[in-house]
Amino acid sequence: MRSVLYFRLSGIAAARSMQSSLQALPVAPVHIDGPWFIQRDDQPMEGLPRAASRQTTYRQEWAIAGTVIGAISAVAATLHLGTSAGTFASVLACVASGALGGLCGAWLAGQLGARIPRGKVARERAQLAQGEMLLVASCAADAKDSVKRMIHELGGVSVEEHSDVMPGFRWA
């Protein structure tokens, strides 16, 4: 399981030092992704990577719900509207329509969930002063405490954290 951590930073110098410190950790290549940075006006910062929508919205949670709803809806429609051509053919049709419905539901719900920003992160982003930014880092559950401690020592203030429900899954 992975955790996504959000921190408030005071400036670009702090951001650069935290970026180099996170990448210098011995567990970094395996356990830590990022960091990514967000400014209030959403303008890119030179040399610092920006956060993607999957890190600041409810895209993954909605995609999971969409998978379940899409699969159930497709199977129900197949059973209600379809004509039975035997047990094997009916089961095969239900499995195929459930898989296709799940994929379509995940895509559609993911698109809708990407439009909904995480509440705490959106409030913190709106309160950022000129020159301040948010740092987003994804790390393995066993590295979470050491990452939080290191960023706090470098001057970052913890804002929010959540568990990434689909670890390692990337949208095409």
80 and 65 within one domain: yes
Residues 32-88 pLDDT 10s: 777 777 777 766 677 777 777 667 788 888 999 999 999 999 999 998 988 878 888
Q: Distances in Å between the alpha carbon of 118 and those of 90, 96, 145?
A: 42, 34, 22
User: Which structure tokens are listed for 2?
Assistant: 């992975």
Chain length of the chain: 172
The pTM for the full model equals: 0.70
For 7-75, the DSSP string reads: EEES-HHHHHHHHHHHHHSTTHHHHEEEEEEE-TT---BTTBPBPPHHHHBSHHHHHHHHHHHHHHHHH
144 and 125 within one domain: yes
75 and 37 within one domain: no
Q: How far apart are CA 138 and CA 152, in angstroms?
A: 16
Please say whether the beta carbons of 138 and 22 come within 8 A.
Answer: no
Give the total number of structural domains in the chain.
2
Q: Is residue 172 part of a domain?
A: no
Residues 89-116 pLDDT 10s: 889 999 999 999 999 999 999 999 988 8
DSSP symbol at 117? B
Q: Is residue 171 part of a domain?
A: no
Q: Is residue 169 part of a domain?
A: no
Please say whether the beta carbons of 132 and 8 come within 8 A.
Answer: yes
pLDDT exceeds cutoff 80 at 13: no
Structural domain containing residue 79: 59-114
Q: Is residue 149 part of a domain?
A: yes
152 and 124 within one domain: yes
125 and 97 within one domain: no
Q: Is residue 16 part of a domain?
A: yes
Which residue in the block uniquely carries the two structure tokens 């830590």? 32
Q: Is residue 170 part of a domain?
A: no
22 and 44 within one domain: yes
User: Which structure tokens are listed for 37?
Assistant: 């940075």
What CATH number corresponds to the domain at position 134?
3.30.70
